[in-house]
């Protein structure tokens, strides 16, 4: 009899997406269901933490019921529970954690709290009925995790061995996209709208700065780019911003993508690694995908499908099931832990 944890139910509520998935120990996603809160936050131009946690508390239990029914399962088919407990918005984290603690108690299931970023880093192993990664993909690899809250490069040596090798000194790339979208009069969330608008534009029309690209390190910065866009747009009449919107978006997007791609390649060079992964919400960006995929003659590129790149429960389930099968679990003492890296990662920032 195999006493390994075979299937887990996982929950992700660290920010504004409520996501629930059932995942097996090979990274196969039986089902994932998610609720997006964009419409509720849009009037405020950004995420309002109190609204996020209230929405999680309304959406989470119905989503859990739904994913179990959709998978034709009952609780007896689930052998463990995984929930993001760090980092994230404290109120949002608490909703996911308290819900799974109640279920763990009711059904006597082991529970593990997962680092959200470890989830993003392991997303390239996820598979489902429609998608699978290349069969020879494995550790070690370089991962660029790029989202609204984080922009960092990692040397992923093996499961649970993650080295932060580069990071942004200021804003995350997704945050820069969102702020720029606001400046050019696009709604929230901005990244995806900049991406769509840029498709009609000329990326060489405006020359935005590519901070730190010439420096021989893996550090990034997007605040100079944001200020430069602000200074340019301040001088432009509203009508001109409207007529130039596509060119502005394409030029801004190209600057962000140039920085990300150049640092990713520098990392590959430094660690002599031919396997590259991009993950996190910004990896949904079509220009970034295009530029990364163009490198596939020299590198093995794995970009998970968008459903596993943006915040999702499947990645939390996979990280969690691996940890449960190593004998780790938190049980009912689990709490939210807002701090980011300290004990989960090591650092090699030169």
19 is an interface residue for ligand KG4 by CB under 6 A: no
Q: Which residues pair with 31 in a beta bridge?
A: 22
Q: What gap in Å lies between CA 184 and CA 243, rounded to an integer?
A: 11
In terms of Cα–Cα distance, which of 109, 7, 113 is closest to 330?
113
Choose the binding region for Zn ion from 2-10, 76-84, 140-148, 185-193 (rule: CB under 5 A): 140-148
Q: Return the structure tokens found at 56.
A: 């999680």
- Closer residue to ligand KG4, CB minimum distance, 103 or 122: 122
Q: Spell out, one character per residue from 306 to 325, where the chain touches Zn ion: x when CB under 5 A holds, - when not.
A: -----x--------------
CB closer to ligand KG4 out of 42 and 332:
42
Write the burial class of residue 327 (CB in 10 Å: 0-12 exposed, 13-18 middle, 19+ buried).
Answer: exposed
| Contact call for residue 319 and ligand KG4 (CB under 6 A) | no
What is d(CA 43, CA 58) in angstroms, rounded to the nearest whole number? 20
The reply on whether position 285 binds ligand KG4 by CB under 6 A is yes
Nearest to 11 by CA among 323, 311, 344: 311
Does position 87 bind ligand KG4 by CB under 6 A? no
CB 222 within 8 A of CB 173: yes
| CA 331 to each of CA 19, 37, 78, 187: distance values in angstroms, whole numbers, following the listed order | 21, 29, 16, 41
Give the residue with the Cβ less far from ligand KG4, 8 or 284.
284
Number of residues near ligand KG4 (by CB under 6 A): 20
Cis peptide before 290 (omega within 30 of 0): no
Which strand (E) or helix (H) includes residue 156? Answer: strand 151-158
Q: How many contiguous H segments (helices) and E segments (strands) does the chain have?
A: 11, 11
Interaction between residue 334 and ligand KG4 (CB under 6 A): no
Contact status: 280 vs ligand KG4 (CB under 6 A): yes
Restricting to residues 141-200, name those near Zn ion by CB under 5 A: 147
Q: Which residue is nearest to ligand KG4 (CB)?
A: 281
Beta bridge partners of 277: 143, 302
- Residue from 110, 133, 189, 304 that binds ligand KG4 (CB under 6 A)? 189
C-beta closer to Zn ion: residue 178 or 311: 311
Q: Which partner in Zn ion, ligand KG4, none is near 124 (CB below 5 to 8 A by kind)? A: none
Sign, CA torsion 221/232/257/305: positive
Smallest gap from Cβ 66 to ligand KG4, in A, equals 21
Residues 119-158 vs ligand KG4: string with x where CB under 6 A? Answer: ----------------------------xxx---------
17 binds Zn ion (CB under 5 A): no
Min CB(3)–ligand KG4 separation in Å: 34
Residue 286: C-alpha distances to residues 90, 151, 181, 198, 253 (Å): 31, 17, 16, 10, 10
Q: Does 244 bind Zn ion (CB under 5 A)?
A: no
The contact set with ligand KG4 (CB under 6 A) reads 15, 147-149, 174-175, 177-178, 189-192, 195, 280-282, 284-285, 310-311
The contact set with Zn ion (CB under 5 A) reads 147, 311
């Amino acid at each position: 009899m195999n006493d390994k944890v075979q299937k887990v139910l996982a929950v992700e509520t660290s920010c504004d997406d409520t996501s629930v998935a059932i995942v097996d120990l090979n990274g196969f996603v039986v089902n994932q269901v998610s609720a997006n809160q964009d419409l509720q936050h849009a009037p405020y131009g950004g995420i309002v933490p109190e609204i996020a946690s209230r929405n999680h508390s309304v959406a989470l239990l119905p989503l859990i019921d739904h994913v179990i029914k959709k998978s034709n399962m009952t609780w007896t088919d689930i052998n463990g529970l995984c929930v993001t407990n760090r980092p994230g918005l404290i109120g949002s984290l608490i909703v996911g954690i308290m819900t799974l603690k109640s279920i763990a108690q009711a059904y006597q299931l082991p529970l593990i709290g997962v680092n959200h970023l470890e989830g993003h880093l392991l997303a390239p192993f996820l598979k489902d009925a429609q998608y699978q990664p290349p069969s020879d993909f494995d550790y070690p690899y370089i991962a660029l995790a790029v989202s609204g809250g984080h922009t960092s490069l990692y040397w992923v040596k093996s499961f649970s061995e993650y080295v932060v090798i580069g990071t942004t000194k200021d804003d995350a790339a997704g945050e820069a996209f969102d702020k720029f979208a606001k400046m050019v009069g696009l709604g929230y969330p901005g990244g995806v709208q900049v991406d769509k608008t840029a498709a009609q534009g000329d990326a060489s029309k405006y020359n935005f700065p590519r901070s730190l690209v010439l420096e021989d390190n893996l550090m990034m910065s997007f605040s100079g780019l944001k200020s430069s866009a602000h200074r340019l747009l301040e001088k432009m009449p509203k009508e001109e911003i409207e007529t130039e919107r596509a060119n502005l978006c394409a030029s801004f997007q190209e600057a962000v993508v140039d920085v990300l791609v150049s640092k990713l390649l520098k990392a590959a060079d430094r660690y002599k690694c031919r396997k590259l992964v991009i993950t996190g919400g910004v990896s949904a960006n079509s220009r970034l995908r295009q530029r990364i995929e163009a490198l596939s003659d020299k590198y093995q590129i794995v970009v998970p499908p968008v459903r596993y790149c943006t915040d999702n429960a499947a990645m939390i389930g996979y990280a969690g099931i691996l940890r449960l099968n190593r004998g780790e679990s938190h049980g009912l003492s689990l709490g939210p832990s807002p701090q980011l890296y300290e004990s989960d990662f090591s650092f090699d920032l030169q």
